[in-house]
């Protein structure tokens, strides 16, 4: 499971011109899933993201978490995070999990993240053609792959 975490001042997701998610201070999380991902990956990753100290404290130092700032979150599925570009110029997405595996894991990730935050997490729509807008704050962008946790 791979996540691209962006600290945002605001972010939104639109599908066919309709805004389906909209936040202010918080995190935009792009989530890529592979067949080997498990509930253990979800538990580890949601806890890690919720507690990442990437928000500024009163002295302007990145020392507080999403939990500390009572921030909001949007989670967007993004199979392209597992693109392979080793051969040629056309990315291969063979490692990305198919919907029958990815959708339940994506939904479980969102539910577990809501438990970690103690509030509703907004989402895009799995498999939809989404337009994502964000104002990256910092900019702060962190990439976490659960395969690198050990």
Q: Summarize pLDDT for 98-132 with one digit per residue, the tens.
A: 999 999 999 999 999 999 999 999 999 999 999 99
User: Taking the domains of the chain in order of start, what are their residue ranges?
Assistant: 2-148
Strand intervals (E) in the chain: 2-15, 18-23, 26-32, 55-56, 62-64, 72-77, 122-123, 130-145
Q: How high is the pLDDT of residue 150?
A: 73
CA quadruple 9, 3, 114, 45: dihedral positive or negative? negative
Has domain 2-148 been given CATH number 3.50.80.10? yes
Give the DSSP H/E element, type plus range, for residue 115: helix 99-117
* Residues labelled as active-site residues: 80
Q: Summarize pLDDT for 38-51 with one digit per residue, the tens.
A: 999 999 999 999 99
Q: What percent of the chain has pLDDT over 90?
A: 99
Q: Summarize pLDDT for 70-91 with one digit per residue, the tens.
A: 999 999 999 999 999 999 999 9
Q: How high is the pLDDT of residue 54?
A: 98
């Amino acid at each position: 499971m791979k996540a691209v975490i962006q600290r945002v001042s605001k972010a939104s997701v639109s599908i066919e011109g309709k805004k389906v998610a909209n936040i202010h201070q918080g995190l935009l999380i792009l989530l890529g899933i592979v067949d080997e991902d498990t509930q253990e990956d979800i538990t580890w990753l949601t806890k890690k993201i919720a507690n990442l100290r990437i928000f500024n404290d009163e002295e302007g130092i990145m020392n507080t978490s999403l939990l500390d700032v009572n921030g909001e979150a949007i989670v967007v599925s993004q199979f392209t995070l597992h693109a392979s570009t080793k051969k040629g110029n056309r990315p291969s997405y063979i490692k990305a999990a198919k919907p029958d595996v990815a959708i339940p894991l994506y939904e479980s990730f969102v539910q577990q993240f809501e438990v970690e935050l103690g509030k509703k997490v907004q989402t895009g729509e799995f498999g939809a053609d989404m337009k994502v807008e964000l104002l990256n704050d910092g900019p702060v962008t962190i990439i976490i792959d659960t395969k690198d946790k050990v």
